[in-house]
Amino acid sequence: MASPRISKRFVRVWQRNLTVYQKMWKILFLPPLLEPLFYLLAFGVGLAVMVGGVYYRGSEVSYVSFIAPALIAINIMYNAFFENTYASFVRMYFQKTFDAMMATPLSLEEIITGEIMWGATKSVIATAIMLAVVSLFGLVKYPEGLLIIPLAFLGGVAFGAIGMFFTSIVKTIEMFNLPIFLFVTPMFLFSGTFFPLENLPLWAQKLALAFPLTHLVKLTRSFSLGLIDSALLWSCAYLLLFCLIWFPLAISGMRHRLIK
């Protein structure tokens, strides 16, 4: 008889964030548009001269086409993670937006789901823009490259969910430094982003396999280079598993934090 805790009404929370986004889209559009250009300039023109090509899955690719999909993967991580940490924390803690929502027919579960879906949506928006930019330089193979768009959503949910979990436990907003220092930055550097995983010692390679970003980079890179095979399903499965673990943890963490 009782109404389920999660219904499609979570879309209302997602819509609220979209409305705010639409008010400032001109500013919010710029980073995903300009950032890849900066990176491509720095790495493509500056670093690539020193590096030359990279061996990836049996063939040599230019350093620029090696890192371009990694930059997209990093952006998928950043957009969702930062949305569901700093931005969600501001809404929850300073603006009391969640408190106000909880006096409406929305449930806490729907509020958190809406927030995480919004984080993933920001990942998708940024990905679409970046993909368009790097495609102009001929760095993406189509149609395989289009798979990166739905992948951005999956990756966004994964990083948003774990970000939301951190939001449920930090005391102050400054404490996000900790998961960034211990989780995000190591992933940024050691997930096969800027150099192939194989360059790491074996133990570090194994460790890196636990990073969701490792799998996300592998997928974006394979899609953009057009190297599709069934082994990629393992990486998809890992990301899915990551969502299935952290999404419920984020919700129960938030319930613990907000429901008194």
Partner 1 sequence: MQYVLEVESLKKTFDGFVAVDGISFRVSHGECFGILGPNGAGKTSTIRMIYGFSPITSGNIKVFGLSISQGWRTIKSRIGVCQQDNNLDPDLTVLQNLEIFARYFDMPKDQALHRADQLLKFIALDNRKNSTVTDLSGGMMRRLVLARALINNPDLLILDEPTTGLDPQSRHQVWNKLEDLRAKGLSVLLTTHYMEEASRLCDRLVIMDRGRILVEGKPMDLIKEHVGQDVIEVAEPGDELQKYIRSGSMVYEDLGHRLIIYGHEGEKLFRTISDEYCKEGCILRMATLEDVFLKLTGRELRE
Question: Could you list the residues that contact partner 1 (CB under 8 A)?
Answer: 1-3, 9, 12-13, 15-16, 19-20, 23, 95-97, 99-107, 259-260
* Nearest distance, CB of residue 84 and partner 1, angstroms: 16
Q: Cα dihedral sign for 177, 183, 189, 193?
A: negative
* Nearest distance, CB of residue 174 and partner 1, angstroms: 21
Closer Cβ to partner 1, 3 or 230, answer by number: 3
Angle ∠(9,164,133) on CA atoms, nearest 5: 90
Closer Cβ to partner 1, 20 or 37, answer by number: 20
Closer Cβ to partner 1, 36 or 119, answer by number: 119
Closer Cβ to partner 1, 59 or 95, answer by number: 95
* Nearest distance, CB of residue 32 and partner 1, angstroms: 21
* Nearest distance, CB of residue 41 and partner 1, angstroms: 34
Closer Cβ to partner 1, 94 or 203, answer by number: 94
59-62 and 53-56 beta bridge pairing: antiparallel
Token pair 């613990």 in the structure block, residue: 256
| Contact predicate 159/76, CB 8 Å | yes
| Dihedral in degrees, nearest 10, Cα atoms 14, 20, 24, 28 | -30
Phi, psi of 158 (to 5 degrees): -60, -50
The residue type of 212 is: P
* Nearest distance, CB of residue 94 and partner 1, angstroms: 9
How far apart are alpha carbons 156 and 214 in whole angstroms?
A: 14
